[in-house]
Amino acid sequence: MKINLDRTSSGFCIGVQGTIHVAEEKLSAREKLFSLGDVVHNEVEVKRLENLGLCTIDEETFKTLRNSSVLIRAHGEPPETYATATRNNLKITDTTCPVVSKLQRTARLLHQLDYQVVIYGKRLHPEVIGINGHCGNQGVIIKHADLSDPEELQTLDTGKKTALISQTTMDVPGFYELKANLEALYAAGKSSVSPWMALRDIDLTAALTGQQEMARNVFKDTICRQVSSRNQKLHDFALANSRIIFVAGRKSSNGQVLYGICRAANPDSYFIEDIADIEDSWFEEIPGKPVESVGICGATSTPMWLLEKVAGFIDQRFNH
């Protein structure tokens, strides 16, 4: 049985890599370090870092801390978090992903320009909570690109000038489907409607300095291409193997999306968090005959060491 480990489109994205690297550096110096929320949406990696001394805390505990060091993870945080840190004399180690930082700035400037900010994303995802905080917690958060959830549209005002942005890990087709559906919704019943314009950074600068007005309705594709480019590669990888073992944390939003892509390409795809979830029956073509190949892959929040561990376990169990 051939075991293929995907090293090109699986494993940590650059934002998560940076966070883990900084956390390891701090912990190796024996510094007491708190992480506001799971440092990454992978329980196995979180436990590894906690064994090195990292202490994971929730928002309520964070508010009670004094004179401590706190890690801000790649997902980023709303402005209130930094205000709390200042009040409580907390030393912040900020590892917000650069892509997310840029998105937060965009949301903040759009809010300053009095745009209604629509965020394509998941309401309870920490990145979205952070983005929303940068637009005064007044963002309209829409997960369903087809506008099928009336609750998501309750605060949407089609009479306001509007800007559409996205959580960095959402799917590109969904973003443009949402854009088209919003355009149709805003156009309903109107004889003349200006097209939604693609927003550039220079447009924001010109508007803020009063040099040029922006269009009434704008959109900016803020999806991370390092993440979205994995989709086709994982699809092809899943097709190329008899079985797929997809490794990710169950809390990982990106993991659920990428696993869905694998499963659509290859129905014989199985989701695991660690080797304890593996079942022997997955690796038989027929009783007594192993499958030809097994592909091991994972999410942007899955460490490569864990993928290697899974590949080694399967190899040891079925090829020796």
- Which of the 8 DSSP states describes residue 195? P
Residue type, 186: Y
Least Cα distance to 215 among 235, 200, 228 occurs for 200
Q: Check: CB of residue 259 under 8 Å from CB of residue 282.
A: no
Identify the active-site residue in 31, 45, 59, 127: 127
Rg (CA), the chain: 22
- How many residues are listed for the chain in this entry? 320
- Which of the 8 DSSP states describes residue 277? G
Instruction: Write out the two tokens for 179.
Output: 């854009």
Name every residue whose Cβ is closer than 8 Å to that of residue 190 and which is 6 or more positions away in sequence.
none
Give the CA angle between residues 284, 285, 290 to the nearest 5°: 50
Q: Check: CB of residue 302 under 8 Å from CB of residue 42.
A: yes
Q: Is 120 exposed, middle or buried (0-12, 13-18, 19+ CB in 10 A)?
A: buried
Q: Check: CB of residue 24 under 8 Å from CB of residue 53.
A: no
Least Cα distance to 297 among 286, 282, 289, 308 occurs for 308
Listing DSSP states for 179-191 in one string gives HHHHHHHHHTT-S
162 forms bridges with which residues in the sheet? 116, 217
Q: What are the Cα distances from residue 278, in Å, to 142, 231, 232, 275, 297? A: 35, 24, 26, 5, 14
**Is 285 annotated as catalytic?**
no
- Residues that are catalytic: 127
